[in-house]
Chains A and B, each alone.
Chain A
């Protein structure tokens, strides 16, 4: 509860700051402090110190897994703010409002990690997405940004409609909004109400939309590409992973149907393969690193979907690992990307000569995304693949996953190739030494988590 209330509260504080504090550059400091407070509050909550005793009436259920994920999300946001805070300021006059919306999004994230009621799920998703519509269009004078916001809003509304329809049908099938519900014994199809199945399918489609899984991913490249890079960075990482956490909960509780005749594995395997296919194959031909990263986020989503497929302990651990590896690496890549004046592959030519630290850290982030050993990304992929192998079925999905991971190396390493093996004079915005230091720390975290994954997992238990 701490995190939900603190994030909402600090969001309101940020709103007031916009007219109480005149100095533009102090907003990001206030935001950073707010995130630290939020992180502390969440850690307190993790160890049982709850500042607000509110009876949510089974609407929310807190788990250690959820708390750990909250911490990861908040810490990632903190890193995001520290690395790209200056670039957010360059976006326009409404910096304080920008941070306000970030805090509201975090509020939605915290709700999604704790929901126990389909209405709470809906609420969390909406709190998460509505600020994003605004953030996408935050570069008001840029037509592309406006177009992206409008597209996102239109399709998002459609998916919201689907979700509500699904929840309504499930209510009709089970008579309750609670996630863990006893099933009514009427109109049964292999032990499940027919209405519930249709509802779940609609819910599945809309959740797939949120995490940009194919074939509901069409908005992703357009929106990620059109939105300001700083927003894309946030959207593609923390928001997307939060969607997965919510999705995982939905799956483990509602879709792990015990009846032998129905399971969702076939549907999920179709979605996984389509997502990997669209994400990886389309990424290959992109000329812009930003758009490539948009497709890469789809392909990474394909790997995270593995967890929803297998729904075992490997899956939940792996998803946690994946969220750390994916968020940090992508935030780092975007932090450098927003400094680039030219975000095509050519723009990166010769970066290793002019900015060796940036190039080296960028290379580590890309290694992690590609799943090269010794980085967190490798272990994350390993856990994902292992989780399916543990289920003992659908081994071909694993084979396909490995093949697509190999394809992904191609477009990730194109960036490394441009940085290290091509000649050019990359044009960049100015940045300080602390920025470089931040990137180095980020790269170090990725390698440390990759080398000592237990440091992360132990947190789930102790």
Chain B
């Protein structure tokens, strides 16, 4: 039955894509949303199956690549990890689809259908990625989400900047993909199989070098897809796409792929301390780095984008310190509140007619009550204030980090403080204070329609209550998620810290977060930051000039090299050669033509000479062939 899950969005993609010129918007919406809803229903059934203790279901669909003894099948695997991801992808995906029917309503019919077909394809690719029972199928989905992100980021393709953003996303991802692919090749060359079950059963056949090499290469892929240093710059630029697309990329699909892949490969990563440490270091570095940038951004979506990069950093920190459940848990809660944040931001942008600069917002609290309240819930959740969902997942990661190395924990708490700060800065600037937009905008301010608010409310409930799925033992919780996932996440690192220590850690992190939130609220509610920042703030607002650095160090030299090849090597070298050959043949044609002078006498004379020459050639053929053999 697992094949049904990706099948529905695929059908939806085909229907909406092929008939995009003839379908009405209503029908397009029904097909698009219905396909994902159907997948969600199937996913729920699968989830319940797995939960009830159904055996690990590996479902072969058809032989994919069979060459001699080398076999890669098209196989789906439904287990605890994939079924959980299925729920997140299809559930949140459905809400985003529903939301989009209203958000994208201004588009023309065919573009509306194009949007939904891409969206369905996106969900399909992600489902393929999660469902695949080997790395090759995962890679197909992996590439699929890359393609779809490209298509959707560049959805408004008439804008050159948007196209550049789409290209950037695609190219950055491809850099990561190259590493991922090499990792798969390495794996295949050593074990001859890419099936998870076979690989994890045979890890003992791999040398430590192999494992480290493979895991690091795979992690390069994860860096690209999940926007970690140094391949993170595409994600903030990906804001060029419609806001629901951002929600989809940040919450349900795409960026969680890297987390899923590392979690899936936990048996490999746990065997390579180097890889584990690298994952943790990259994770915490990204978490802090992105958080600093988020503090000074004024574009509402940019702040959210950097917050995603930062949160993904936390997840990788969790993976690096062996808190696989914590990371997956954080993926889940993050999906809830980040989707909510983006959709809320979208609601605001929609109401302000595509205004994204927070400096032109403010005071939206009274105009958009539903958006405001749901947004606030999301802010509290992401800031990690109990009992909202973010607290539970983030704290689980932080506790594990402390057990591994207290430095990780200290840095993590600093990051958490920054998170609370920039989120409440965003909240205060947008919703509190006075409206700073134009009169025209103020006149049109209104709460969004039901198709937008209903997903917001549902997500708000989840963002609030999502944490209760995995209440830690310290609060007398049953750690349901932990137990549920334990058959898959075999390498889970059980940390041993005393309850008193753990309580103290929690207290500190919550305290820091609360403090940061209150500072932000008091600072920005009355006097939002309207001026251009200076000093360090300017550096932060310009994202540490990383884009410029990449441009100067990598992009521009490459372009210069390409220009050299194009203008010098190709024009004068290759073109010159090719045209020269053509020119020479034309020239010889003109000369050779003159032999044909139309005089019979000449012709016969030439024929007689030819016979003589042929006669000589025949007579001395041994000499001639010998001569040629000497030359060649």
Contacts and interface: CB of A to CB of B under 8 A. Distances in A.
Given A205-B611, A270-B614, A285-B586, A278 B606 contact: no
A201 interface: yes
A301 to B, nearest CB: 15
A190 to B, nearest CB: 10
B154 to A, nearest CB: 33
Nearest to A220: B596
B603 A201 contact: no
Nearest to B586: A284
Nearest to A204: B614
Given A218-B606, A262-B621, A282 B598 contact: no
25 contacts: A158-B607, A201-B611, A201-B614, A202-B611, A205-B607, A215-B606, A215-B607, A218-B603, A219-B603, A221-B596, A222-B598, A264-B618, A266-B621, A266-B624, A267-B621, A278-B595, A281-B592, A282-B592, A282-B593, A283-B589, A284-B586, A284-B589, A285-B586, A285-B590, A407-B585
A267 B600 contact: no
What is the interface of chain B mostly: helix, strand, loop, or mixed? Answer: helix
Contacts of B22: none
Closest 7 CB pairs of A and B: A218-B603, A215-B610, A285-B589, A284-B589, A266-B621, A281-B589, A205-B611
Contacts of A215: 606-607, 610
Contacts of B614: 201, 204-205, 267, 270-271
A389 to B, nearest CB: 17
Given A215-B607, A219-B603, A270-B614, A278 B592 contact: yes
A52 to B, nearest CB: 40
A22 B614 CA distance: 53
Contacts of A54: none
A222 B586 CA distance: 21
A155 B604 contact: yes
Most buried by A among B588, B590, B614: B614
Contacts of B622: 261
Given A205-B614, A266-B617, A266-B624, A154 B600 contact: yes
A283 B614 CA distance: 25
B572 interface: no
A216 interface: yes
Sorting the interface of chain A by its residue count into under 10, 10 to 19, 20 to 34 or 35 or more gives 20 to 34
Contacts of B600: 151, 154-155
Interface in A272-295: 277-278, 281-285
A209 interface: yes
B64 interface: no
Interface string A203-232: 011000100000110110110000000000
Contacts of B585: 281, 284, 407
B21 interface: no
Contacts of B595: 218, 278
Contacts of B607: 155, 158, 205, 209, 215-216, 218
Interface of B: 585-586, 588-590, 592-593, 595-596, 598, 600, 602-604, 606-607, 610-611, 614-615, 617-618, 621-622, 624-625, 632
Contacts of A197: 618
Nearest to A197: B618
Most buried by B among A201, A202, A209, A266: A266
A191 to B, nearest CB: 15
A101 B287 CA distance: 94
A278 B588 CA distance: 10
Interface of A: 151, 154-155, 158, 162, 197-198, 201-202, 204-205, 209, 215-216, 218-219, 221-222, 261-262, 264, 266-267, 270-271, 277-278, 281-285, 396, 407
Contacts of A205: 607, 610-611, 614
Given A201-B611, A205-B607, A218-B607, A282 B617 contact: no
B604 to A, nearest CB: 6
A209 B604 CA distance: 11
Contacts of B602: 218
A282 B603 contact: no
Contacts of B593: 282, 285
Contacts of B586: 284-285
A396 to B, nearest CB: 8
Nearest to A202: B611
A153 to B, nearest CB: 10
A261 B625 CA distance: 11
B607 to A, nearest CB: 5
Nearest to A411: B589
Nearest to A283: B589
A220 to B, nearest CB: 9
B459 to A, nearest CB: 57
A261 B620 CA distance: 11
Contacts of B598: 222
B584 to A, nearest CB: 10
Contact of A222 (B596, B624, B625): B596
Given A201-B615, A204-B614, A270-B617, 14 more contacts: A151-B600, A155-B603, A158-B607, A201-B611, A201-B614, A202-B611, A205-B610, A215-B606, A216-B610, A218-B606, A262-B618, A281-B585, A284-B586, A285-B589
A198 B615 CA distance: 8
Contacts of B621: 262, 266-267
Given A155-B600, A282-B592, A201 B618 contact: yes
Nearest to B618: A267
B616 to A, nearest CB: 11
Contacts of A267: 614, 617-618, 621
A152 to B, nearest CB: 10
Contacts of A396: 632
A284 to B, nearest CB: 4
Given A151-B600, A221-B596, A266-B621, A281 B588 contact: yes
A282 to B, nearest CB: 5
A158 B610 contact: no
B596 A282 contact: yes
Contact of B625 (A155, A198, A202, A266): A266
Contacts of B603: 155, 218-219
A62 B436 CA distance: 103
A284 B607 CA distance: 23
Nearest to A264: B618
A261 B590 CA distance: 40
A278 B585 CA distance: 11
B611 to A, nearest CB: 5
A335 to B, nearest CB: 26
Most buried by A among B598, B604, B618, B621: B618
Contact of B618 (A209, A222, A266): A266
A283 B585 CA distance: 11
Most buried by B among A151, A215, A278: A215
Contacts of A266: 617-618, 621, 624-625
B596 to A, nearest CB: 6
A51 B622 CA distance: 51
Nearest to A222: B598
Contacts of A278: 592, 595
A155 B621 CA distance: 29
A352 B617 CA distance: 49
Contacts of A271: 614
B268 to A, nearest CB: 47
Contacts of B606: 215, 218
Nearest to A153: B600
Contacts of A261: 622
A117 to B, nearest CB: 24
Contacts of B625: 266
Contacts of A151: 600
B88 to A, nearest CB: 51
Contacts of B596: 218, 221-222, 282
